[in-house]
Amino acid sequence: MSTVDSAVPAGGVPPNPWLPRPFRVEERVAETGDTVTLCLRPEDGTAPPPFAPGQFNMVYRFGVGEVAVSISGDPARPEELRHTVRAAGKISESLAGAAPGETVGVRGPYGTGWPMERLAGRDVVVVAGGLGLPPLRPALLEILAHRERYGRLEVIYGARSPPDLVYYDEVQTWRRRSDLRIQVTVDAAGREWYGDVGLVTARLPDARFDPPRTGALLCGPEIMMRLTARALEQAGVPADRIFLSMERNMKCGIGSCGHCQFGQSFVCRDGPVFPYSALRDRLDRREI
Amino acid sequence: MTPSVVGDRRTLLRSDFPQFLRALWNGGYRVVGPTVRDGAIVLGELREEADLPIGWTERQEAGTYRLAPREDAALFGFTTGPHSWKKYLFPPRERLWTAEAEGSSFRVVPEPSDPVPYAFLGMRACDLAALQITDRVFDRAVADPGYHGRRARALRIAVVCGHAAPTCFCVSMGTGPGVGRDHDLKLTELLDGGPHRFLVEIGSSVGAAVLDRVPTRPAASADPTAAEQVVARTAAGMGRHLDPTGVRDLLLGHPDHPRWTVVAARCLGCTNCTMACPTCFCSTTEEIPDLYGDRSEKWRRWDSCFNLEFSHLHGHPVRPSGRSRYRQWLTHKLASWHDQFGSSGCVGCGRCITWCPVQIDLTEEVRAMQADPDAVQTTGAPP
Query: Amino acid identity of B314?
Result: H
Q: Are residues B282 and B201 in the same domain?
A: no
Rounded to an integer, what is the distance from CA B383 to the centroid of its chain?
34
Q: Rg of chain A over CA atoms, in angstroms?
A: 19
Domain A21-110 in CATH 3.40.50.1820 = no
B312 interfacial to chain A (CB closer than 8 Å): yes
Task: List, in sequence order, the alpha helices (H) in chain A.
Answer: 90-96, 133-145, 168-176, 222-235, 267-270, 276-283
Summarize pLDDT for A51-91 with one digit per residue, the tens.
999 999 999 999 999 999 999 999 999 889 999 999 999 99
Residue ranges of chain A that CATH labels 3.40.50.80: 116-244+276-283
Average pLDDT over residues B265-294: 97
Looking at residue B352, the DSSP 8-state letter turns out to be H
B303 interfacial to chain A (CB closer than 8 Å): yes
Average pLDDT over residues A2-13: 44
Subunit contact B282:A8, Cβ cutoff 8 A: no
Q: Nearest CA of chain B to the CA of A37: how many Å? A: 19
Q: Regarding the domain delimited by A116-244+276-283, which CATH topology (the fold level of the hierarchy) does it fall under?
A: Rossmann fold (3.40.50)
In chain A, pLDDT over 70 holds for what percent of residues? Answer: 95
Residue ranges of chain A that CATH labels 2.40.30.10: 21-110
Q: Are residues B30 and B156 in the same domain?
A: yes
Best A264, A281, A285 member to test B by mutation, with max B CBs in 10 Å, is A264
Q: Is the pLDDT of residue B1 over 80?
A: no
Q: Rg of chain B over CA atoms, in angstroms?
A: 23
Q: Nearest CA of chain A to the CA of B162: how many Å? A: 25
Task: Please state whether beta strands A214-219 and A123-129 pair in parallel, antiparallel, or not at all (unpaired).
Answer: parallel
Out of B180, B206, B236, a domain closes at B236
In chain B, pLDDT over 70 holds for what percent of residues? Answer: 97
State the count of interchain CB pairs (< 8 A) between A and B: 166
How high is the ipTM of this complex?
A: 0.92
Summarize pLDDT for B332-351 with one digit per residue, the tens.
999 999 999 999 999 999 99
Q: Are residues B256 and B148 in the same domain?
A: no
Q: Is the pLDDT of residue A234 over 60?
A: yes
The pLDDT value recorded for residue A220 is 97
Out of B170, B201, B236, a domain closes at B236
Summarize pLDDT for B53-74 with one digit per residue, the tens.
999 999 999 999 999 999 999 9
Chain B residue numbers touching A67 (CB-CB < 8 A): none
Bridge partners, residue B109, by sequence: B98
Subunit contact A256:B281, Cβ cutoff 8 A: yes
- Report the range of poorest mean pLDDT among A232-236, B103-107, B277-281, B283-287: B103-107
B16 found inside a domain: yes
Summarize pLDDT for A185-211 with one digit per residue, the tens.
999 999 999 999 999 999 999 999 999
> pTM of the full predicted structure?
0.93
Q: Is the pLDDT of residue A10 over 70?
A: no
Task: Please state whether beta strands B30-37 and B118-123 pair in parallel, antiparallel, or not at all (unpaired).
Answer: parallel
* A245 burial via Cβ count (<10 Å: 0-12, 13-18, 19+): buried
Domain span including residue B310: 247-371
Best B104, B111, B285 member to test A by mutation, with max A CBs in 10 Å, is B285
Residue B383 banded pLDDT, cuts 50, 70, 90: very low
Secondary structure (DSSP) of A207-260: S---GGGEEEEEES-HHHHHHHHHHHHHHT--GGGEEEE-----SSSSS-S-TT
- Contacts of residues A195-199 at CB distance under 8 Å and 24 or more positions apart, as own/partner, are A195/A162, A199/A158, A199/A224, A199/A227
B147 found inside a domain: yes
Average pLDDT over residues B229-234: 97
The pLDDT value recorded for residue A154 is 98
CA–CA separation, B190 vs B165, rounded Å?
Answer: 18
Q: Is the pLDDT of residue A121 over 90?
A: yes
Looking at the structure of chain B, the number of domains it has is 2
**How many CB atoms within 10 Å of residue B48?**
9
CA–CA separation, B138 vs B63, rounded Å?
Answer: 30
Mean model confidence pLDDT for chain A: 93
In chain B, pLDDT over 90 holds for what percent of residues? Answer: 91
Q: Are residues B155 and B253 in the same domain?
A: no
Summarize pLDDT for B138-175 with one digit per residue, the tens.
975 568 899 999 999 999 999 999 999 999 999 999 99
